Structure 1
Amino acid sequence: MCSLTCNTLKESEQNLMKAEKILEELQESKLDVSEVVQLEVELITTQGRLYVQQGKATQAVLLLERSLKLMQSLVSTDGAQIIEAHRWLVRAHQLCSNHEAAIEISLQAKAIAGSSFGPGSTKVAQVIHTIGQAYTCTGNTEHEGLAEQNLLESLSMYKQAGLAESSRALAVLDDLCHLHVHMKKYQEAFERLRSSMGMKREVFGECSEKVAETFHLMGAIRMAQGELPSAYRLMKKCLDIQSILYGPQHKKTKATKETLDTLSRCPGVVAKRNAPKADPSRRHLSAAVEKQKPPK
């Protein structure tokens, strides 16, 4: 998985170098100025995104800010393109821990989305999700209420649009659950995660990373609540999927295995695992005897 990401980033860098050479040639050609600027915008934006993925936050901020200025100089810039550039700039500022700037830019994106697509559009829902993330990332308890409010609003908008089972809506739900865990709203987070499991299996697959992560978070919640046998069962389900996805030597699989080993030594879990299991044949026999009894 990591090598695949590294290869993708390397290919992106190579493609960008080729694109830069092409852009230099185009700037010397007789193409319309706006066409050249549009190509430059696409190139700079792509480079900025690449820097975000590489964790080069300062370079990303500079390029994405330049990209936005160029977009604003164009008469026919696509609203969706501007919004997406804002969202990447938010991520870049978060990498720099410039949380106030990230919040301000995400709020600007909301205004643009509302005027371009209408207040009830999924584009607005997407930006409101970004605002919720921006407030969450501050780590400030005073921002938790605003983060929760925006994430709930985004989730509600996706539901109203009939997209409650979309990958974007499920991403909002996961962020909301992580926030609720941080706020110690354990049961609320657990119920939301449990209700999302069927949708995630449908959207991402039975043995997917998202399903494994959901089992892991549910297990962590049960640990925080002191319900260790339940935590053990959930972590075991997570481990089963991770073993298939990543193999036994992957760091995620190893970490879950360590948690499971620790849980397995807890008295409550030991007692539950060692408890005699009911014999299915005896259950069927008891049911048959009950049916044979004459009515009272």
Structure 2
Amino acid sequence: MSVPIRIPTDSIYEERGSLCTTPKTVTSIHAEEDGSILDYTERSCDGAPPHDLKKRALPVDKLSRTQLTAEQCIQDNELLQAHKELIRCVALNRIIHGDGHWRLAKAFADLAYSYLTIRELPVQARQHAESAKNILLRGLDMSKSVEEKREVLGTLVTIYYTLGLSHLLQNNGRESFLSLQKVEKIVEELEELQEKTSVLGKITEKDIALALGRACVMQNKLSLAVNFFEQAIKTVTSSEGDSSPELISIYRDVARTEQMRRRHDQAIHYLLQAHSICQAVYKKLSVEVAQTGLLLAKAYAAAGHSEYNETADKYFTESLSVYQAVLGPEDPQTLNTCVEFSKWLIQIGKTQEAYKMLQEAMGSETQYNEIVAEMLSIMGSIHLADGKIQKGYRLLKKCLEVQTAVYSSQHSKSRETQNLLSTLQKSGASGE
């Protein structure tokens, strides 16, 4: 049960004498990790009621200081401390304004956004955003000053954006889209009132368009998703230029969507732009360059045109070389690139090249992880396809050992390999 909030009075006493002969204020903030309980109390260390306390800062002064501290912590990138200060802001707003005031809703909205962006806890973010929304829905008086109207509209943007992104992170595309549409509508109204610039702050038009695009992808509304991604690109380009690093992730999103639509040339177009920015912004030997290079290679490979083979090979080779140089040959990202490269080589009939690459990447010691299991499976399958049944059997047996350790014996991949081994044993081709 939450402890009742005690509202300090204006009584002031002088602090004298030894420890606790005159009451001294002790302030406590309690916040459960799931955000379900927030409590702010003031008490004296001898249990005396608040009106007997002599000197203390008034809640309104504490709130002002706490808000400034939270802002400063965010600027200094002390994000966890900023989150704690935002919890205090909720408690102090409740003390000062009561349970139904829009300023309490704003404090809940800011805390919800913090749970989303700082703590990366979408469930808690959604809970606090719902609390903020419920406060405003009880009755919102819009006959306020212009400044208060701006703050209320900004609070609504924060609430619905946080709800939209929380649903998105929980794979609820429909609910995400509905919340984000409300944000979009508020922004349109602000534009008509010429208040958009003064209200939109930490949440930008790019953020809103990007989130809407991702929500559309989740609902398989791919054409609409591309429109939103292009809107995000336009927003970033107009404000920061066409070489902004922010464009990299957006180009990757829209390219992935175009691939889902089987529009491979459009996907390649966007990935070329992402790769170009990466090469300009980051060092040539960087993970970022290797990532976009690999995506480009896969995009050319997925197009299925023989005239793209040389280009696909070029990007696979470059990406693998960068990963090996930056992360080392045994890093999971390096090994994953080997797997993707080998699959494409098999696709175009270069099975022996694929086998040699995987064999060299495997080395003498076998690690127990998903990528190694896939490498062993591919190598075993190559041997079986070449009629080298016993060699294939031995590799698949090793593959099953790794799969069982990584997934368990009941996993679909483990059972598939086990069934294949059993078939080979029954046919007598395994040599066992």
Q: TM-score, normalised by structure 2?
A: 0.52
- Which residue in the other structure is 2:126 paired with? none
- Larger CA deviation: 54-63 vs 31-40: 31-40
Asked if 1:227 corresponds to 2:388, the answer is: yes
CA contact (8 A) 2:300 2:308 kept: yes
**Counterparts in 2 of 1:255-294, with a 5 A limit?**
255-269=416-430, 272-273=431-432
Alpha-carbon distance between aligned partners in 2 of 1:104 and 1:161, rounded to the nearest angstrom: 27
Alpha-carbon distance between aligned partners in 2 of 1:252 and 1:193, rounded to the nearest angstrom: 20
Alignment CA distance shift 1:246-1:165 (3 Å): closer
Cα distance, 1:80 vs structure 2: 3.2
Alpha-carbon distance between aligned partners in 2 of 1:65 and 1:172, rounded to the nearest angstrom: 29
Asked if 1:212 corresponds to 2:373, the answer is: yes
Alpha-carbon distance between aligned partners in 1 of 2:200 and 2:365, rounded to the nearest angstrom: 42
User: Which of 144, 153, 156 in structure 1 is aligned with 2:321?
Assistant: 156
- Which residue in the other structure is 1:108 paired with? 273
Alpha-carbon distance between aligned partners in 1 of 2:326 and 2:199, rounded to the nearest angstrom: 36
Alignment CA distance shift 1:265-1:33 (3 Å): farther
- Larger CA deviation: 124-133 vs 38-47: 38-47
Alpha-carbon distance between aligned partners in 1 of 2:400 and 2:169, rounded to the nearest angstrom: 28
Structure 1 alignment gaps of length 5 or more: 1-5, 274-296
Asked if 1:59 corresponds to 2:220, the answer is: no
Alpha-carbon distance between aligned partners in 1 of 2:396 and 2:428, rounded to the nearest angstrom: 17
Deviations 1:46-82 (A, max 9, x none): 3434544665433332222222112212238983321
**Counterparts in 2 of 1:30-41, with a 5 A limit?**
32=197, 35-36=200-201, 39-41=204-206
Asked if 1:188 corresponds to 2:357, the answer is: no
CA contact (8 A) 1:83 1:109 kept: yes
Letter in 2 for 1:91: R
User: Which of 124, 138, 147 in structure 1 is aligned with 2:303?
Assistant: 138
Alpha-carbon distance between aligned partners in 1 of 2:423 and 2:221, rounded to the nearest angstrom: 37
- Which residue in the other structure is 1:96 paired with? 261
CA contact (8 A) 1:215 1:235 kept: yes
Query: How many matched pairs?
Result: 262
Alignment CA distance shift 1:151-1:250 (3 Å): same
Alignment CA distance shift 1:81-1:169 (3 Å): farther
Deviations 1:87-125 (A, max 9, x none): 121111111110111111111222222222354443222
Letter in 1 for 2:234: K
Higher relative contact order (CA 8 A, sep 6+): 1
Paired residue secondary structure (1:268): coil
Alpha-carbon distance between aligned partners in 2 of 1:104 and 1:188, rounded to the nearest angstrom: 29
Cα distance, 1:28 vs structure 2: 6.7
Paired residue secondary structure (1:142): helix
- Which residue in the other structure is 1:281 paired with? none
- Percent of aligned positions with the same letter in both sequences? 27
Structure 2 alignment gaps of length 5 or more: 1-166
CA contact (8 A) 1:186 1:225 kept: no
Asked if 1:42 corresponds to 2:207, the answer is: yes
CA contact (8 A) 2:180 2:208 kept: yes
Alpha-carbon distance between aligned partners in 2 of 1:27 and 1:56, rounded to the nearest angstrom: 22
CA contact (8 A) 2:268 2:296 kept: yes
Alignment CA distance shift 1:131-1:182 (3 Å): same
User: Which of 316, 322, 335 in structure 2 is aligned with 1:170?
Assistant: 335
Alignment CA distance shift 1:239-1:122 (3 Å): closer
Alpha-carbon distance between aligned partners in 2 of 1:245 and 1:15, rounded to the nearest angstrom: 34
- Which residue in the other structure is 1:197 paired with? 362
CA contact (8 A) 2:383 2:392 kept: yes
Alpha-carbon distance between aligned partners in 2 of 1:113 and 1:73, rounded to the nearest angstrom: 19
Cα distance, 1:39 vs structure 2: 2.7
Deviations 1:250-270 (A, max 9, x none): 44334323322332234431x
- Larger CA deviation: 254-263 vs 191-200: 191-200
**Structure number, greater radius of gyration:** 2
- Larger CA deviation: 116-125 vs 226-235: 116-125
Alignment CA distance shift 1:102-1:256 (3 Å): same
Paired residue secondary structure (2:421): helix
- Which residue in the other structure is 2:66 paired with? none
